[in-house]
Amino acid sequence: MINRLKNIIGFEKKSTLANSSPELLALFGAGPTASGTVVTPETAMRCTTVFASVKVIAESVAQLPLHLYRRTDDGGKERAGDHPLAELLHDQANEWTSAFEFRLFMQTALCLHGNAFAFINRADGKIFELIPIPSPAIEVQVDRVTMEPSYKVTEGDGSQRIYPRTDIFHLKTLGTSPHVGLSPISQMKEAIGLAIAMEEHGARLFGNGARPSGVFKYHKMLTGQQVQQLRERMAGHTGGGSGQTLVLEDGMDFKALQFTSVDLQFMELRRQQIAEIARGFRIPLHLLQELERTTHANAESMGQQFLSLTLLPWLKMWEGAIRRALLSPEERRGYQAEFLTDDLARADLAARFDAYAKAVTNGLLCPNEVRAAENRAPYPGGDQFRLPMNTEDASKTSAA
């Protein structure tokens, strides 16, 4: 068992797809784009928009508390801290990986590859470790008769081993197959490729002062030797020597060049690619530090939309996968895993509690219903509905 775990953990990608043939790239869902750049999960993460988008999603999922709850006889729920799985989900996935690090790795793999995997290590039928496995090391195989998946893992020594579905914790994104998810990077490779190409072009253009900042005007014709001397002097004022004072001679004049329409269009295209990639990840632009159209008034509402439209689908996918892979059929009837999103919705906490107070005061909700909505245990007497003392049935008032 120990050697098997070491082999899984020891998996290391020996080569890169960046310089591979088009046929091999196509096999892995990568490949050259129309812009001429090769887009793989590794090269895509060098694009700042992709890196920031993945970072926002992965860190948001990783920082949220994840608890295991036990359903109680009165219809409520309580934290099942005594269950072995509770510590793995909330504190420590294994001896060398915290729960935060585990979710960070798994969610990053999801955003890049569309699939994330972890080995479920059991002893006496109880789960005591969750060990993440790099996505490129696993191939999902499907039995054509039962449609049940199994997992072929390429281990650290190059050997391959097939694991049943009960040994692998598998998270998967949107896909055309019920067994594997589509890679967001592969689906957005043209948009990402264009962003990378534009960034590389801009870096090459400005790296050595290639874009002229101005032109020299002189009242005489310069000889070839004078032109060469001027070029040599200018070379010392570009690249590493930029910013030094340039002394002009004999009536020579320097005229600075303004931004052209081409320059402005280039900058606009770069902003457009930021929005295009953000659209694919469903990230509000202000979370990527693109604040051109963001105001203080709409930033809070966009933050709430990020929670409800971007994060919640990921969180529900995690909760469903935990129920499917980490709970036994008997435990599924009495236990459930749930993320707490209070920290992300803290800005709306006052408004939410004000609404709860009005609902309880007017008899729309009882206190225990509010506590259940906030993941709190019920208390005796909390099932009673309350009404203001100065209100009564309208029919009685009209009769009087």
Per-residue pLDDT, 18:
41
Per-residue pLDDT, 12:
41
Per-residue pLDDT, 201:
75
Q: What is the pLDDT of residues 181-194, one digit of tens each?
A: 999 999 999 999 98
Alpha carbon distance 245, 233 (integer Å) = 11
Per-residue pLDDT, 24:
45
* Residue, of 235 and 365, whose pLDDT is higher: 365
Per-residue pLDDT, 87:
94
Per-residue pLDDT, 246:
54
Per-residue pLDDT, 206:
66
- Mean pLDDT throughout 193-199? 87
Per-residue pLDDT, 236:
56
* Residue, of 169 and 18, whose pLDDT is higher: 169
Q: What is the pLDDT of residues 121-179, one digit of tens each?
A: 999 888 999 999 999 999 999 999 999 999 999 988 888 999 999 999 999 999 898 99
Per-residue pLDDT, 224:
75
* Residue, of 208 and 195, whose pLDDT is higher: 195
Alpha carbon distance 371, 124 (integer Å) = 37
Please give the C-alpha separations between residue 199 and each of 193, 226, 284, 290, 297, in angstroms, as whole numbers: 10, 36, 22, 16, 32
With a cut of 70, say whether residue 313 has pLDDT above it: yes
The rounded mean pLDDT for the chain is 80
Per-residue pLDDT, 139:
93
With a cut of 90, say whether residue 15 has pLDDT above it: no
Longest dimension (CA), the chain: 111
Place of tokens 């004072």: 245
User: Rounded to the nearest 5°, which phi and psi values hold at 337?
Assistant: -95, 145
Q: What is the pLDDT of residues 260-305, one digit of tens each?
A: 555 556 677 788 889 899 999 999 888 888 776 666 556 666 667 8
* Residue, of 364 and 232, whose pLDDT is higher: 364
Confidence of residue 202 (pLDDT cuts 50, 70, 90): confident
Judged by average pLDDT, the poorest of 85-94, 159-168, 202-211 is 202-211
| Contact between 343 and 375 (Cβ < 8 Å) | no
User: Rounded to the nearest 5°, which phi and psi values hold at 377?
Assistant: -70, 150
With a cut of 70, say whether residue 94 has pLDDT above it: yes
* Residue, of 351 and 366, whose pLDDT is higher: 366
Place of tokens 């998946």: 149
| Contact between 130 and 94 (Cβ < 8 Å) | yes
Q: What residue type is 316 in one-letter code?
A: K
Tokens of 334: 């009495």
To the nearest 10°, report the CA torsion of 16, 18, 22, 26. 70
Per-residue pLDDT, 14:
39
